[in-house]
Amino acid sequence: MKKLLSISTAVAVVLAFGFWLGQWWSGDRNMNGSPANGERTVLYYKAPMDPSFRSDAPGKSPMGMDLVPVYADEAGGSDPNLVSIDPTIVNNLGVRSADAVKSVLSRRIETVGYIGYDEDTIHHVHTRADGWIEKLSIKATGDPVQRGQILFEFYSPTLVNAQEEYLATLESSNAPLRKASRQRLAAFGVSEAEIKRLESERMVRQRVPVYAMNDGFVAHLGVREGIYVTAATDIMSIAELDSVWVLVEVFERQAAWVKAGQSAEVTLDYLPGEVLQGIVDYVYPELDAKTRTLKVRLRFDNPAEALRPNMFARVTIFGTETSPVVHVPQDALIRGGAVNRVVLAIGDGQFRAQPVKIGIEAGDRVEIRSGLAEGDRVVTSGQFLIDSESNIDSALARMGESNETEIDHSEHEMPAESPPEPSDHDGMEMPQ
């Protein structure tokens, strides 16, 4: 009986000790940071305004702010470029993202220019004999002109003599001479209507009228009434506005993007919301030596005469299209000296800085030649803050790895030598 009681007591003691040991082991694991029943593990604490400041225990930052815990599931695992941000903070930061798209891109040049007359439509007015401008109907540059309108009346002794000779031949039966006299008047610029008047009225005009040959506006006026002119005098120039030129300049690096025949658009401040279509008419062969820009001439139809010379215009030139390529908004690109990056939005508040190689730029889009695939989501607003956080975390991770590989030589240091004990010379006397 006593033996049975002793065995029962021993079993009870062993069970009690086992229960106590299990409780102690569980508590010790929880105290050492292992998750218990789904609790998140805190790796360290960092300052909210200075991520480089870390602590193993909660407390205050150097700025007096509460330290923020960083959990194991937010640390990015083995990827130091992975950053986890609470969705509430993401929303407060105004983080926006967009998908990488694969489609054709067209090189687009945004520039400015000035509208000018289409010089192919400009007609210069000259006299073919020396004389005087007796009556000038055009008063100033910019005056409208209609075809058949009298521009000025011209007195020339040479023209007066030519009229008299032709009238004399009309009374003659010499047909070749009559024909030669008539051709001489035409060579001096006398209109067919004026010659027929001379034939019917048989009266010489001292002042011969000069008529406009086309509709348009006076682009240049070089004379006044009473002035003496020669055949070389540029009396006036008349330009049409049915079409106009727009002269622009593009940067040297964009010179290869522009070719004659490409489409172009122009917008003007005084026509808000209206876009006019035109083409690249000519690419000049020489760059400006001072500005290092290339001059390009565009042509636009102008039936309503809405485009006027010397107006300021915003111009878009569309280059040739590429084959389908992956591209993202330019706002998503973080340009660096050696490496360009974007910030990938992985999901669930996780982001990663991704190096990329860029290609052509077209408007607000940029080609990604490597580093991204179609459908990848990139951050277009707030990416600089995320990229900065990623760089800090990556640098600190590298520093931590470096510190772990350092050898602790503290145990191998030589003990410092004890200073010699001072000698007691009180009992010694110097000889006198």
pLDDT tens digits for range 331-356 = 899 888 788 989 888 887 788 888 99
The model carries a pTM of 0.58
Report, at the CATH architecture level, how domain 82-105+324-399 is classified: Beta Barrel (2.40)
Dihedral (C-alpha) 45, 50, 53, 54: value to the nearest 10 degrees? 10
pLDDT of residue 184: 93
Edge-first strand order for the sheet with 228-229 is 207-211, 150-155, 131-136, 228-229
Q: Which class does domain 123-238 fall in?
A: mainly beta
**Rounded Cα distance, 220 and 119, in Å:** 12
CATH of the domain spanning 113-118+241-321 = 2.40.30.170
Residue ranges of the chain with pLDDT lower than 50? 4, 19-36, 392, 395-418, 422-432
Q: In the prediction, which pLDDT does 114 show?
A: 95
The reported pLDDT for the residue numbered 34 is 44
User: How does strand 68-71 pair with strand 96-99?
Assistant: unpaired
Number of neighbouring beta carbons within 10 Å of residue 262:
19
Q: What is the pLDDT of residues 230-252, one digit of tens each?
A: 999 999 999 999 999 999 999 99
Using an 8 Å Cβ cutoff, are 244 and 116 in contact? Answer: yes
> Where does CATH 2.40.420.20 sit in the chain?
82-105+324-399
Which ranges in the chain are annotated with CATH 2.40.50.100? 123-238
